[in-house]
Amino acid sequence: MARTISMKQAINEALDQEMARDPRVICMGEDIVGGAGAEGEKDAWGGVLGVTKGLYAKHGDRLMDTPLSESAYIGAAIGAAACGMRPVAELMFIDFMGVCFDQIYNQAAKFRYMFGGKAETPVVIRTMVGAGFRAAAQHSQMLTPLFTHIPGLKVVCPSTPYDTKGLLIQSIRDNDPVIFCEHKALYDFQGEVPEASYAIPFGEANVVREGKHCSIVTYGLMVHRALEAAATLAKEGVEVEIVDLRTLSPLDMDTVIESVTKTGRLVCVDEASPRCSIAADISAQVAMRAFGALKAQIEMVTPPHTPVPFSPALEDLYIPSGAQVADAVRRTLKGGKH
């Protein structure tokens, strides 16, 4: 039965159901329980924004608070995964990857290949991404391209509670290392989610809106900005098609190309910094594989090549807006082969 719940609740439910289903699933992270060693409430936090709250009561010591040592505990999750467990480690903000990236991209990502196909590392790293929280340059980054660049990693970034539950369950069941990116600005976003457990396969983009004039390819929070743009443009008689990638690696280029083949136009929207971004990656692949289908220039909408500013006045300008997306669509509609 589907009810309307938040993305936060969808994450909590996915973890709960998978922990109940599979005793090898364990969770670890900073304050994911909270109150460790303190005199007051146990499960005092349930994560910095309360996402894992309540799981301790159900699953006890299979949730572990950690010292503030991301290399050590994320590496431990990876090591445990290589030894038959299915750990879900929380990297509180993706911005902290700089203190533990080696364990992710040189260890987890490469074991299978370096060891000649003889290792499996079914670890999930849950992490908060994105701007909008007035959390400034070191707590607001997207950074999805850095992980997508790395062979051996899978990268997931859902846009709805429904996708979140299904993709997190798939991530836990998946036999490869998965970076599961949760957009903090979507935590309270509500949507219909079935109570029963279900998995959404990786590498299947979701056409969240059909249209014939232009394709918008995006993921995460930007799906909602694209939908805003679509609503505006519809009033102008422009019907855009929106492709929500859902997983950045593996990537469903077939759906992207199918859409561009239909519309002949492409706008890639990415909340990550512009250089070597997901937007650039999709654009380049289309320019290579579906050039003939393109009727006009590809447009990319990203933040500027700057760190994320603190001031709300600036941060609101930093994050790509629905209006910017609509403008980009209008630009490519005006463009055309000479």
Partner 1 sequence: MAGTNPFPLSRDELLKCYRTMGTIREFEDRLHIDFGRGDIPGFVHLYAGEEASATGIMSHLGDGDRIASTHRGHGHCISKGVDVVAMMKEIYGRKGGACNGKGGSMHIADVSKGMMGANGILGAGAPLACGAALAAKYRKKGEVAISFVGDGASNQGTFLESLNLAAVWNLPVLFVVENNGYAESTSRDYGTAVDSYVDRAAGFGLPGITVDGTDFFAVYEAAGEMIKRAREGGGPALLECKMVRFHGHFEGDAQTYRGAGELDSIRADQDCMKKFRAQVTAAGVITADEFKAIDREVLGVIENAVKEAKAAPLPTLADLTTDVYVTY
Ligand X SMILES: Cc1ncc(C[n+]2csc(CCOP(=O)(O)OP(=O)(O)O)c2C)c(N)n1
Asked if residue 187 lies in contact with residue 51, where contact means CB atoms within 8 angstroms, the answer is yes
Angstrom CA distances, 222 to 2, 8, 131, 207, 228, stand at 25, 18, 11, 14, 10
Taking Cα atoms as reference points, which of 180, 329, 195, 317 lies closest to residue 265? 329
Does residue 68 touch ligand X according to CB under 6 A?
A: yes
Q: Tokens in use for 76?
A: 């431990």
Q: H-type helices in 22-50, by residue range?
A: none
* Residue whose tokens read 């159901």: 17
**Closer to partner 1 by Cβ: residue 97 or 293:** 97
Does residue 173 touch partner 1 according to CB under 8 A?
A: no
Does residue 30 touch ligand X according to CB under 6 A?
A: yes
Does residue 218 touch a second copy according to CB under 8 A?
A: no
Does residue 307 touch a second copy according to CB under 8 A?
A: yes
Largest CA distance in the chain: 72
Task: Specify whether 183 is catalytic.
Answer: no
**Closer to a second copy by Cβ: residue 190 or 297:** 297
- Of 8-16, 172-180, 280-288, 327-335: span binding partner 1 (CB under 8 A): 172-180
Please give the residues from 87 up to 126 whose contact with ligand X meets the rule CB under 6 A: 92, 96, 99
10 Å CB burial of residue 68 (0-12, 13-18, 19+) is: exposed
- Chain-centre distance for alpha carbon 188: 15
**Closer to ligand X by Cβ: residue 96 or 147:** 96
CA dist 112 and 48 (Å) reads 33
User: Is the bond preceding residue 274 a cis peptide, omega within 30 degrees?
Assistant: no
Does residue 13 touch ligand X according to CB under 6 A?
A: no
Q: Which of 205, 294, 325, 333 binds a second copy (CB under 8 A)?
A: 294
Does residue 109 touch a second copy according to CB under 8 A?
A: yes
* H or E stretch at 315: helix 312-318
What phi, psi does 149 have (nearest 5°)? -65, -25
Local structure of 104: helix, strand or coil? helix
Does residue 300 touch a second copy according to CB under 8 A?
A: yes
CA dist 277 and 58 (Å) reads 40
Total binding residues for partner 1 by CB under 8 A? 82
Q: Which of 235, 275, 313, 334 binds a second copy (CB under 8 A)?
A: 275
Please give the residues from 254 up to 273 whose contact with a second copy meets the rule CB under 8 A: 268, 272-273
Does residue 175 touch partner 1 according to CB under 8 A?
A: yes
Residue 198 contact, options a second copy, partner 1, ligand X, none, Cβ 5-8 Å cut-off depending on partner type = none
Q: Which of 204, 228, 250, 295 binds partner 1 (CB under 8 A)?
A: 250
**Which residues of this chain interact with a second copy, rule CB under 8 A?**
71, 95-106, 109-110, 113-114, 136-138, 145-146, 148-152, 249, 251, 268, 272-273, 275-289, 291-292, 294, 296-300, 304-307, 309-310, 335, 337-338
**Would you name the residues annotated as active-site residues?**
139
